[in-house]
Structure 1
Amino acid sequence: MKTPLLKPLLITSLPVFASVFTAASIVWQLGEPKLAMPFVLGIIAGGLVDLDNRLTGRLKNIIATVALFTLSSLVAQSTLGTGLPFILAMTLMTFGFTIMGAVGLKYRTFAFGALAVATYTTLTYTPETYWLTNPFMILCGTVLYSTAILLFQIVLPHRPVQESVANAYEALGGYLEAKADFFDPDEAEWIGNRHIDLAMSNTGVITAFNQCRSALFYRLRGKHRHPRTAKMLRYYFAAQDIHERISSAHVDYQEMSEKFKNTDIIFRIHRLLEMQGQACRNTAQALRASKDYVYSKRLGRAIEGCRQSLRLLSDGNDSPDIR
């Protein structure tokens, strides 16, 4: 099933909107506005520990989340207002969850959510409310959000990884455009300043690649791999190969810009890198729209023109080694 063309922010917000809308409707029907705060805080807590994963992986995460949230909320609620026992319980719980978080990112996320739930339980306490009400409503909010995210996972199972791959190509396009500035002959004296821009763009590429790799990892652990996941993996390898090639330095860019500033080769390389950057952005748009990328014939002509100029240059004299 093709993913509908929706903005990434809208898709991310839909589970939260659906959960909050459902919670507000339930509270309105019950006529108990005091239940709204712990209910909504439970939804927020569920969103804090939501980790992208396969359907079975999400189910396991939900079970672990509910168990930890139950423990955290009950401990905080049962010791609230007791003075020293409350301080000791919260200290021990904080220490225990901190040690658990040292195991890995997933456990660190669960530990943070559990401590947040303990805080939410304390904030929503009122003396006239039955002591199990707030923990129960917080857990209901968490389960409600988890149910909503599961439904969206079933409807749009491949959207997160597809969006991650699109973000990787978007960042790669920015990196290619930053690299194109090294081949501007009129800016040869200020190439040193371009290294900072290139390093910042490279940081964005590495971050996007890490998120993409993490999203793919969770979906490739099972025996049965969906063809869409395999396709996204090929897209990721292609992006990684492009990044490895373009991040290599083959010549002294300042010397090259000064040497060939009055020839067409430097302008061709500059234009070619900009067009390749735009091609990466077009690939990202195609991924978000679930369409196949259409190779630009104009880009093909630019590549061939650049090759011809390089051949003519290599047949001439004292040219640097350009690969």
Structure 2
Amino acid sequence: MQSAMTVGLRRLWAQDAFVYSLRVFVALSGAMALCWWLDRVPLVIPVFLGIIASALAETDDSWRGRLRALLVTLVCFAAAAFSVKALLAWPAAFVAGLALAAFGFTLLGALGERYRAIASATVILALYTAISAAPGSQADALPFWHVPALLLAGAAWYGALSLGWCVLFPHQPVRQNLARLYRELGAYLRLKASVFEPVRAVDVERRRLALAQTNGRVVAALNTAKESLFARLGRQPPAGRLLRHLNLYFVAQDIHERASSSHYHYNEWADVLFHSDVLYRCQRVLKLQGVDCTQLAGALQLHQPFVRDGEAERALADLHDSIAYLERQQQPAWQRPLKSLRALARNLATLDAQLTAAARPEGGERPGDSSLLDRTPRSLADAWGRVRAQLHAGSPLLRHAVRLSLALAAGCAAMQFTDPTHGYWIPLATLFVCQPTYGATLSKVTQRVAGTAVGLVAGWALLRLFPSLPLQALFAVASGVLFFVTRTRHYLTATAAITLLVLMCFNQSTGNGYALIWPRLLDTLVGSAIAAIAMFLVLPDWQGRRLAAVVAQAVRANGLYLREIMSQYATGKVDDLDYRLARRTAHNADAALSTALSHMLQEPRAVRRQAGVGMQVLVRSHTLLNFLSALGAHRGQLAVEDSDPLVTRAADHAALRIEAIAQALSQRLPPLPDDGTAAALADALERQADTAQEPLRLVLTQLALVCRQIAPLATLAGQLVAVSGPGQGGAPHAGRPAPASVAQ
């Protein structure tokens, strides 16, 4: 029983949500206990709100970074709280100040996730100050500094807990982020295995679309793990646990490149090798490797050693035997797919070796360039340059900033007609509901209203069933913990929890929690409606108007990735900054295209005419990236006798045509008609590949596959421009690029 309890506690401790909720529980229960001990229960509302705002501003960081962020957060909170307190007596000045603050702080999101979280939490705290110190409320008779000081005390209390947690458990977030990354890789490998199913008339395009969407989640997990690692890297070379985690990250990068590789059109293999089990064996290897990634994720999360069972290795040996048997048959129709199958088997063998290396990541620092790219601003001038780069009509961030500030002003104006004293829940609901995209805003509106209704009904029932104030205090703490556990994945539950917390705290301080039920519901309805209307009327950022530019970014990134790969075939394989940055940029752009299309599908039918063409472009662009990934996975310097002018000519032509398509899309012009050069080069490459030896044969084959993607991609690009029309909306501005002196 003791062993089972130990395992259960270990599993509970490994859950990110549990660790987060434990920290919030300590903060809320400590604040509640102190207010009860001092017999100053009415103080609990501003203290709780300060804790919530501070927790919302928290991002993953080292203890030094968290200390700096906490100091910046408290300075911003102090400026916001005292400014709001000073302006509350003049409603017009308060509305103007709130709108300007929302506009400015939203633009600070251009500096990165840390600044985005602090800026958003500061605007939230400004409204929390207005709620706690509204004219005519009990706090109105208190000294000027009283409510801001309580809010800052709550924020500082949670900040101190968070800082202490960073000191005591510095590597826990990194391990959890790596576990999430390997879990996503496992899901991607298992989905990739479905592409090898040798069934006729299978919908390969649909499966490739699902792969592209899943790839977006893998890329997001890679970026999160990278930022988590970079926050803890110092000037000294990494050592100990940090070195193991860094090695695991680089192994995950290599696995991702090999997992996303494509060596041929697998549906054509299914026709040629229909009566063989070789594709089933490929499928089995990938599934088992996906299972190994998932098991590695579990081992990382539980802080346990990862031991492979050898089943994937045996399946890989069976695959090699199956390919060798088919080669001995000497069937002419099988020769071309079998050569590509050999390349695939080598790729899977290297992927398997990477999984074995992941089981022993303490083997020392990676040879070569192991630094990571620093995307944070390096100076005030750099920070201002990033913000200034967003000051144009096509910037989604600027459009959201304008929309949010006007929506908040409208919420404050509506408050004057409903409840000028306690109606600040209207702009607060608007602030939480108003999102950068239509689909996200609509989802928040429905979940916010439904969650508020659920929370009010639950609060009413609990107030009737449990009139004891100490019990209600426990309910308040529990609902606060539930809010933070569910706020990112289950927004309806989180909204119900925060509504229950407010109701319980209000009843603690006034003894009349029932009086808050109907006003809170009405305020939520009004605030949510304002956010939805603003999304329609104020600079709506429909994804269809940006789709051509997003596709252009993805296509251009593929061209740069191709050039970087081919440069390494000339000089030799090196996992340096330039290569890893080109690879990550290509995958990030592919993920951005997938995300944009997902958002478009949630928009009204009238503004998503490009959805069908966009999906085809995503599949084609992702397929091109798969062929490039295979070319990159096998990269290495070609021998002098293997150097071929045809390779150089085909690679240069493919890169130029890909970049030309991207340029035409960015200008919303149809690409130049295909003159057949790419197809002719593909034919020549395939003929030469039939007689070439490895590794030249693989280079020739993959370049032929790349060349065959150019004409269909150009055709789809022309269709996309024709559907969207020239000059609709501004292109997204990428902003000033981050300095590349610190490696990826």
Which of 70, 94, 98 is equivalent to 2:102? Answer: 94
Pairwise mapping of residues 1-323 of structure 1 onto structure 2 (< 5 A)? Answer: 4-5=10-11, 6=13, 7-125=15-133, 126=137, 127-186=140-199, 188-223=201-236, 225-316=238-329, 317=331, 318-319=333-334, 320=337, 321-322=340-341, 323=343
Paired residue type of 2:198: P
Q: Is this contact kept in 2: 1:219–1:225, CA < 8 A?
A: no
Question: Are the aligned partners of 1:77 and 1:121 in contact in 2 as well (CA < 8 Å)?
Answer: yes
CA contact (8 A) 1:162 1:287 kept: yes
- Flag the 1:286–1:30 CA change in 2: closer, same or farther, 3 A: same
> Is contact 2:189-2:287 (8 Å) kept?
yes
Q: Provide the C-alpha distance between the structure 1 equivalents of 2:239 and 2:36, rounded to a whole number of angstroms.
A: 42
Q: How far apart, in 1, do the equivalents of 2:316 and 2:288 lie?
A: 10
Distance in structure 2 (CA, Å) of the matches to 1:28 and 1:226? 47
SS at match of 2:203: helix
Asked if structure 2 preserves the Cα contact closer than 8 Å seen for 1:39 and 1:141, the reply is: yes
Q: Which letter maps to 2:162?
A: I
Q: CA deviation at 1:109?
A: 2.1
Deviation at 1:123, TM superposition (A): 0.8
User: With structure 2 as the length reference, what TM-score do the two structures score?
Assistant: 0.42
Give the Cα separation in 2 of the matches to 1:86 and 1:304.
Answer: 71
SS in 1 for 2:225: helix
In 1, Cα distance between the equivalents of 2:119 and 2:200?
Answer: 51
Letter in 2 for 1:64: V
**Whole-angstrom CA distance in 2 between matches of 1:73 and 1:225:** 41
Structure-2 separation of matches of 1:275 and 1:287? 18
Q: Deviations over 1:148-198 (max 9, x none)?
A: 112222222101010101101000000001111011123652222211221
Shift of 1:92: 4.0
Higher RCO (C-alpha 8 Å, min separation 6) = 1
* Deviation at residue 27 of structure 1 after TM alignment: 1.2
Opposite residue 255 of structure 1, the aligned amino acid is E
Cα separation, 2, equivalents of 1:243 and 1:11: 29
Q: What SS does the aligned partner of 1:31 have?
A: coil
| Alpha-carbon distance in 2 for matches of 1:275, 1:267 | 12
How far apart in 2 are the matches of 1:230 and 1:176? 26
Q: Deviations over 1:111-150 (max 9, x none)?
A: 2121111111001113233332211111111111111112
Counterpart amino acid of residue 177 in structure 1: R
Bigger shift: 150-159 or 245-254? Answer: 150-159
Q: Distance in 2 between matches of 1:96 and 1:182?
A: 47
Measured in 2, the distance between the counterparts of 1:251 and 1:20 equals 57
1:244 is displaced (CA, Å) by 0.5
Structure 2 distance, partners of 1:278, 1:217, is 28
Q: 1:111 to 1:259 in 2, by over 3 A?
A: same
CA drift at 1:98: 3.8
Spell out, residue by residue over 1:240-289, the C-alpha distance to the aligned partner (whole angstroms, 9 max, x if none). Answer: 11111121111111111222232121111111111010000000011011
Residue type of the partner of 2:76?
L
Change (3 A) 1:191 1:102: closer
Matches of 1:209 and 1:100, distance apart in 2: 24
Larger radius of gyration: 2
Whole-Å Cα distance in 1 between the matches of residues 170 and 25 of structure 2? 19
Q: Distance in 1 between matches of 2:59 and 2:295?
A: 28
Q: Shift of the alpha carbon at 1:215?
A: 0.6
8 Å CA contact retained: 2:200, 2:271: no
Per the alignment, in what secondary structure is the counterpart of residue 186 of structure 1? coil
Name whichever of 291-300 and 101-110 sits farther off: 101-110
Structure 1 stretch displaced more, 21-30 or 187-196: 187-196
* Stretch deviating more after TM superposition (13-22 or 193-202): 193-202
Q: Tell me, yes or no, if the aligned pair for 1:166 and 1:288 is still in contact at 8 Å.
A: yes
Q: Deviations over 1:42-96 (max 9, x none)?
A: 1111111111111111111111111111111000011212233333433443344
CA distance in 1, matches of 2:328, 2:46: 76
Q: Per the alignment, in what secondary structure is the counterpart of residue 197 of structure 1?
A: helix
Shift of the 124–180 alpha-carbon distance from structure 1 to 2, 3 Å rule, reads same
Would the aligned equivalents of 1:188 and 1:258 in 2 still touch at CA under 8 Å?
Answer: no
**Relative to 1, partners in 2 of residues 1:103 and 1:275: Cα closer, same or farther, differing over 3 Å?**
closer
> In 1, distance between residues paired with 2:131 and 2:220?
35
Q: Work out whether residues 188 and 257 of structure 1, in 8 Å CA contact, stay in contact via their aligned partners in 2.
A: no
Q: Percent identity?
A: 31
1:269 and 1:306 in contact (8 A); partners too? yes
Given that residues 182 and 188 in structure 1 are in contact (C-alpha distance below 8 angstroms), is that contact kept between their aligned partners in structure 2? no
In 2, the alpha carbon distance for the partners of 1:261 and 1:35 equals 74
Secondary structure class of the residue paired with 2:303: coil
Distance in structure 2 (CA, Å) of the matches to 1:201 and 1:37:
42
CA distance, structure 1, for counterparts of residue 237 and residue 48 of structure 2: 37
Alignment partners' CA distance in 1, 2:239 and 2:67: 19
Q: CA deviation at 1:13?
A: 1.4
SS of the aligned residue for 1:50 comes to coil
TM-score, normalising length from structure 1? 0.93
Note the residue ranges of structure 1 that are not aligned, 5 or more in a row.
none
Gaps of 5+ in 2: 1-8, 344-744
Tell me which amino acid in the other structure corresponds to 1:84: A
Partner SS for 1:219? coil
Does the residue aligned with 1:189 lie in a helix, a strand or coil? coil
Contact preservation (8 Å) 2:73, 2:118 = yes
The 2-side partners of 1:104 and 1:154 are apart by 23
C-alpha distance in structure 1 between counterparts of 2:239 and 2:56, whole Å:
28
Residue identity matched to 1:300: E
- Deviation of 1:224 after TM superposition, in Å, equals 6.1
1:66 & 1:222 partners in 2: Cα distance? 28
Task: Quickly say closer, same or farther: Cα 1:182–1:169, change in 2 above 3 A.
Answer: same
CA RMSD of superposed structures (Å):
1.9
Label 1:194 to 1:93 Cα distance change in 2 as closer, same or farther (>3 A). Answer: closer
Instruction: Tell me the number of residue pairs that the alignment of Structure 1 and Structure 2 aligns.
Output: 321
